[in-house]
Amino acid sequence: MQKAIKITENIYWIGGNDRETDLFEGLWTLPQGVSYNAYLINDDKTAIVDTIKSGNLSDYIERLTSVLPAGRTIDYLIVNHMEPDHSGSIRMLRHLYPEMKIIGNKKTVEMIDAFYNITENIIEVKEGDVLDLGHHKVTFAMIPMVHWPESMVTYDTTEKVLFSTDAFGGFSALEGGIFDDELDMVHYEYEILRYFANIVGRYSSPTQKAIAKVRALQPRIICPAHGPIHRTNPNHIVDLYDKWSRHDTDEGVVVVYGSMYGNTKFMTDAIARSISEAGIKDVFVHDVSRDNLSFMIADIWRYKGLVLGSCTYNTELYPPMATLCRSLSNKMMKNRILGICGSYSWSKGALAELQLFAEQSGDWTLIQPSVEVKSCPTEEDLDQCRLLGRNVAEAVKKHFK
Ligand code: FEO
């Protein structure tokens, strides 16, 4: 039997680890799985914060019943967020505990009906409402669009524990430990960045509003819906989220190339080398055909500089590069320094589309020269690539001076 894990005297983790789903939302690779965190407050009244993806229900129920004696019921299910990785077991939980009241805000209530056809025994709450569980008093704060419009956080004012839904969460299953002091946080902070950049980052402006609310609450422990529980220094993860959602970056350059026969790669190799020679230590090169989009977006989110190089394919941008550019536009990234280059053989196309991407993406600074090569780069073409690399590196370094 799975066992609940104690967080405080009366608060437990009752989540599960999913190492079988390959793609989160059918898009984002999960090489080390993902955790779905849910929590139990075991007071005079019992309250659960969120359910779990339906495939992990047995872990959840075993952990839940490991705490509760036979016959003890669940009084409340608090629904912080309706995406089915957290709401997927609502119907089953209602079946097991028919008297249980479901708590959510106005938008949550509409979604519970739309997703699960449940309309009864629901309590609608607003910002600042208080739920009295006995010793524990919990309150609610709305954080719309972090990550869906109904997203809210639940705050246990008694023990200063924040149940923060997707905010501050990350990919990767929990490897035995569940707390930040039990885990390799270098790995988990990258996975939190990867989750932020791909899932939440588009909503950076709402995230800034959510951070202001969280800072005002001054939580002692932050319990997100994915990834580690932050009990050692909860402000650290709030600071990281603050930085990422302000589009504040680190000194470094990501180089992404799309190449069929190696000629564009030849160009971006020269660019990457010249960036390194100019003194930038963090240079990351991605093959757009082979590397998973989620890692490219995470790295691009983190660093100030980006170089995109693409061959032309059927008179247009190489399809995987077009997907990347479309994703970057959708994420509404700002304040990056960009260099572009492209190649063609019998019809131009790639560079013009990269140029359009640079113009339409708002706050990107396009560094010259943009380099376009016919078929295979000549030594003069490579000199232009090296000049582009140096100019990108200098622009990045200047930003951090
Ligand atoms: Fe973890 Fe937006 O769901």
Q: What is the pLDDT of residues 212-234, one digit of tens each?
A: 999 999 999 999 999 999 999 99
| Mean pLDDT, range 365-381, rounded to an integer | 97
CATH fold for the domain made of 255-399: Rossmann fold (3.40.50)
- Could you tell me which residues are beta bridge partners of residue 161? 156, 221
pLDDT for 31 equals 97
Atom of ligand 1 nearest to the CA of 166: 1
Atom of ligand 1 nearest to the CA of 226: 1
pLDDT single digits (tens) 321-335: 999 999 999 999 989
Residue 69, pLDDT > 90, answer no
83 lines ligand 1 (CB under 6 A): yes
% of the chain beyond a pLDDT of 90: 97
Question: Has residue 362 got a pLDDT over 80?
Answer: no
Q: What is the pLDDT of residue 70?
A: 86
Nearest CA to 203 out of 143, 142, 163 is that of 143
Residue intervals in the chain for CATH 3.40.50.360:
255-399
Q: CA angle, 385 as apex, 384 and 390 as ends, to 5°?
A: 95
Which pLDDT band holds residue 361 (cuts at 50, 70, 90)?
confident
Structure-block tokens of residue 144: 């719309």
Distance in angstroms (rounded) separating the CA atoms of residues 71 and 62: 15
CA of 41 to the centre of ligand 1 (A): 21
Residue type, 38: A
Average pLDDT over residues 182-202: 98
Ligand 1 centroid to 147 CA: how many Å?
Answer: 7
How many angstroms separate the alpha carbon of residue 49 from the centre of ligand 1?
Answer: 14
pTM of the model: 0.96
Spatial CB neighbours of 68, under 8 Å, sequence gap ≥ 6? 40, 42, 46, 74
Cα 36 to averaged position of ligand 1 atoms, centre (Å): 9
CA distances from 227 to 40, 92, 245 (A): 17, 24, 19
94 lines ligand 1 (CB under 6 A): no
- Residue 300: how many CB atoms within 10 A of its CB? 24
SS (H, E, C) 259-302: CCCCHHHHHHHHHHHHHHHCCCCCEEEEECCCCCHHHHHHHHHH
Distance between CA atoms of residues 79 and 150, nearest Å = 10
CA of 299 to the centre of ligand 1 (A): 21
Is pLDDT of 137 > 90?
yes
Nearest CA to ligand 1 atom 1: 166
What is the average pLDDT score of the chain?
97
Q: Label residue 78 by pLDDT band (50, 70, 90).
A: very high
Q: What is the pLDDT of residues 179-190, one digit of tens each?
A: 999 999 999 999
Q: What is the rounded distance in angstroms from the CA atom of residue 285 to the CA atom of residue 306?
A: 10
Give the model's confidence band at 363: pLDDT under 50 very low, under 70 low, under 90 confident, else very high: confident
81 CB less than 6 Å from ligand 1? yes
CATH architecture of the domain formed by 5-245: 4-Layer Sandwich (3.60)
Could you tell me if the CB of 225 is within 6 A of ligand 1?
yes
User: Could you tell me the distance, in angstroms and rounded to a whole number, from the CA of residue 353 to the centre of ligand 1?
Assistant: 33
Instruction: Check pocket membership of 53 for ligand 1, CB cut-off 6 A.
Output: no
Q: Which protein residue's CA is at the shortest distance from atom 3 of ligand 1?
A: 83
What is the C-alpha separation between 255 and 399, in angstroms, rounded? 18
pLDDT, residue 392, reads: 98
- Which atom in ligand 1 lies closest to the alpha carbon of residue 151? 2
DSSP class of residue 55? Answer: G
What is the number of the ligand 1 atom nearest to the C-alpha of 199? 2
Q: Locate the ligand 1 atom nearest the alpha carbon of residue 148 and give its number.
A: 2
Q: Write out the two tokens for 247.
A: 């589009």
Query: Looking at the predicted structure, is the pLDDT value of residue 243 above 80?
Result: yes
Give CA–CA dist 142/154, Å, rounded: 9
Share of the chain above pLDDT 70, in %: 100
Task: Kindly state if the Cβ of 150 falls inside 6 Å of ligand 1.
Answer: no
Considering only 9-23, 262-276, 358-372, which range has the smallest mean pLDDT? 358-372
In contact, 388 and 307? CB cutoff 8 Å: yes
For the CA of 36, the nearest atom of ligand 1: 1
Distance 200 CA to ligand 1 centre (A): 9
CATH 3.60.15.10 segments of the chain: 5-245
Distance 149 CA to ligand 1 centre (A): 12
Q: How far is the CA of 258 from the centre of ligand 1 (A)?
A: 31
Give me the amino acid identity at 156. D
Q: Is the CB of 226 under 6 A from ligand 1?
A: yes
CA 169 to ligand 1: nearest atom: 1
